[in-house]
Structure 1
């Protein structure tokens, strides 16, 4: 496992930020982008409360915490779609990391990391705009450069290998540690049809094991739990699952939020902790909120594991 993470420490991270803001808080997010909140005092206050609620939970369970900046959509194309210039996008990415550092300062006795979060150039559920690895590196380079004051870069909801390889290349050029998180369909394969294990091994082969570790996100554990046999499993260090067992296509059509069963989800996390020896970072994705993270923390915290 990566030297980024303290050996023996289990880390929480946050839950489904965007679905929490939209469905629980009633906040409109054009293009599903949370990063504009960083620019408004009321938005910053809401983000402070959100991250502190999650970090307080980690503290109560004797765990570390990864502060993931709310920058999943803060890349060139998505930013421009809601009226941001490149220089404005670069500035808000820097401001988001500064906000995470501000919140992190409240937890001096915990193992913490600040991560610059990036998302795919296109749709997270399907690879609609496929790039070569070099094109992906060039595309993601400005956002990664803006994360100079973060501890690492985490790429979430990546759905094909070339974009993952390009992100690793860009992070390496910026001398930033990087984590790659793939999403899967209900059959445990990437949206482009590639086997999860094959995708992880291909990225490692093409980048000389460039990612610090891999994660899985934006899929329910039941979608991929039976596809984790193989040496690639030792490279999976983090998990941010969806609350719902529905497919991406079904979720796209939903007008109401499916929060699933928080306790059953936590039980799946406990099973995955036993299946994946390197699993150290636990959070949530679409549909999850503080209730789900509380159940997960109770299931996988050191005290719970000892019991």
Structure 2
């Protein structure tokens, strides 16, 4: 049974950490092959399940040490019908993988959750297509239909919410929000941007957030930005803007490289964890509504620990 679906604790404003870049960590640090960058395939094997537990426990330890909340994001970014079919999963096998992912996080929550460390479980939804390129775009009604299956599976689990990660065009984001609303499931929308702070389609972040809110009557619990370095978007986040107030979370890349450069890279660019933590603290000071902090490509537990170290002093009330 979902524990926080009716009242997400991160909306109260205290610091919540998430994990880093799960795929880049598993591939480059753990030497695990992930076909199509799909971490959910590891759920099929005992060794793979243990690798996922090891990965998430590092973030549980950080949250416990710093006394923050924690959002555990399921390893299901690729667990939608098109990618699963390409990987040889049947519809039944795909549904079971999504359920297994939540069960794995539920067991971890049982190990680590205490008073100062509330652990929220999120069902991760990725784009139907490429995370960096808005190819074969759907309209919002096609997107609603396409993603409703995965959202429906999560609704029948202990997931507290669903998070749409690396949304690169607005219609898919709208469709996911509409599907979540129909399922009475809280949803977070996380857009990715290019080095100019705009979506890969060229649309501004302001326009994208306002469009989703207009079509869904403001249904998303909040918005996030992921898979971009703070240098790429902080200049467009103007304090006091109503649309900026809707952004509560960041999952930045470690690297300053563009999406195109990252696609061509043969080695992992882990950036500077301490510098990234300091940038998060600077953003938090400018935008005090931001309280959900994690990472994306190239980040790992070192980056998240630096975020906690730099940002925890900026939160004064105890959880």
1:105 counterpart SS class: helix
Work out the CA distance in 2 between the residues paired with 1:277 and 1:169.
28
Would you say 1:185 and 2:194 are equivalent positions?
yes
Out of 252, 261, 267, which is 1:256 matched to? 267
Retained in 1: the 8 A contact 2:13–2:289? no
Work out the CA distance in 2 between the residues paired with 1:130 and 1:8.
35
Could you say which residue in structure 2 is the equivalent of 1:215?
A: 224
State which drifts further: 36-45 or 186-195: 36-45
Retained in 2: the 8 A contact 1:234–1:277? no
The 5-angstrom pairing of residues 71-90 of structure 1 reads 71-90=76-95
Would you say 1:290 and 2:301 are equivalent positions?
yes
State which drifts further: 132-141 or 101-110: 101-110
Retained in 2: the 8 A contact 1:54–1:290? yes
Would you say 1:57 and 2:59 are equivalent positions?
no
- 1:119-165 Cα distance to aligned partner (Å, 9 max, x none): 00011101011001000000001111111220000000001111000
Work out the CA distance in 1 between the residues paired with 2:16 and 2:197.
25
Retained in 1: the 8 A contact 2:161–2:186? yes
Give every structure 1 segment of 4 or more consecutive aligned residues whose post-TM-superposition deviation is greater than 4 Å: none
Could you say which residue in structure 2 is the equivalent of 1:143?
A: 150
1:181 counterpart SS class: strand
> TM-score, normalization: structure 1?
0.97
2:243 counterpart SS class: helix
Unmatched tracts of structure 1, length 5 or more: none
2:20 counterpart SS class: coil
Retained in 2: the 8 A contact 1:10–1:63? yes
Work out the CA distance in 1 between the residues paired with 2:123 and 2:290.
20
Could you say which residue in structure 1 is the equivalent of 2:243?
A: 232
- 1:222-277 Cα distance to aligned partner (Å, 9 max, x none): 00000012221100011100000000000000000000111111111011112223
Unmatched tracts of structure 2, length 5 or more: 1-5
Could you say which residue in structure 2 is the equivalent of 1:5?
A: 9
2:94 counterpart SS class: helix
1:203: how far off? Answer: 0.6
1:71 counterpart SS class: coil
Retained in 1: the 8 A contact 2:253–2:296? yes
Could you say which residue in structure 2 is the equivalent of 1:156?
A: 165
Work out the CA distance in 1 between the residues paired with 2:136 and 2:110.
39
2:261 counterpart SS class: helix
CA RMSD between the two structures:
1.2
Work out the CA distance in 1 between the residues paired with 2:194 and 2:288.
23
